[in-house]
């Protein structure tokens, strides 16, 4: 099974790249997690932010395989505990499809991304910095995966 994290934004600070890579490299070959970066569109004072959100959403959807199960990360999604995320991972494995997790840009995800998503996941009711979301998602996936494997990483 493969999990693809599709995130708007590139040229991340060193600590983000290192933090995300630290967890991504820990996954075994039968549960691969990879990051796909979508270059953000240029924003100016006169930019049409709604159009930018729509265009970035289109680029996100183009980056995923049509057969993948899509999960949108957004504030208004469902909050999952680590145990619930571990249960989701087991469900995803049984489903047989690869997973694409969508992280929008500063304006969030487009309506097209939200509509394509079968699930909506909220990491927190707080609005988090988008670079930090990558690190949190990577760690949360690793922690939940380790729980499914009885790996000692997760302790309650």
In the annotated binding site for S-adenosyl-L-methionine, the residues are: 73, 104, 123-128
Contact 121, 72 (CB under 8 A): yes
User: In the structure encoding, which two tokens stand for residue 115, read together?
Assistant: 């509509």
User: In the structure encoding, which two tokens stand for residue 101, read together?
Assistant: 């997790």
Measure the CA–CA gap between 155 and 111, rounded to whole angstroms: 37
Q: Cβ–Cβ contacts within 10 Å for residue 19, how many?
A: 19
Beta strands in 19-97 (DSSP E): 32-38, 69-79
Q: In what order do the strands lie in the sheet with 2-8?
A: 32-38, 2-8, 99-103, 69-79, 119-122
Residues comprising the binding site? 73, 104, 123-128
């Amino acid at each position: 099974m493969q999990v693809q994290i599709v995130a708007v934004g590139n040229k991340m600070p060193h600590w983000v790249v290192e933090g995300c890579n630290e967890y991504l490299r820990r996954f075994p070959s039968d549960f691969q997690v990879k990051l796909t970066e979508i270059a953000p569109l240029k924003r100016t004072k006169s930019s049409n932010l709604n159009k930018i959100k729509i265009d970035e959403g289109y680029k996100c959807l183009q980056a995923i395989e049509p057969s993948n199960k899509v999960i949108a990360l957004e504030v208004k999604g469902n909050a999952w505990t680590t145990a619930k995320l571990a249960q989701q991972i087991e469900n995803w494995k049984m489903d047989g499809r690869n997973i694409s997790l969508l992280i929008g840009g500063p304006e969030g995800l487009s309506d097209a991304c939200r509509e394509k998503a079968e699930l909506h996941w909220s990491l927190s009711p707080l609005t988090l910095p988008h670079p930090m979301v990558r690190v949190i998602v990577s760690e949360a996936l690793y922690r939940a995966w380790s729980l499914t494997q009885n790996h000692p990483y997760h302790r309650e």
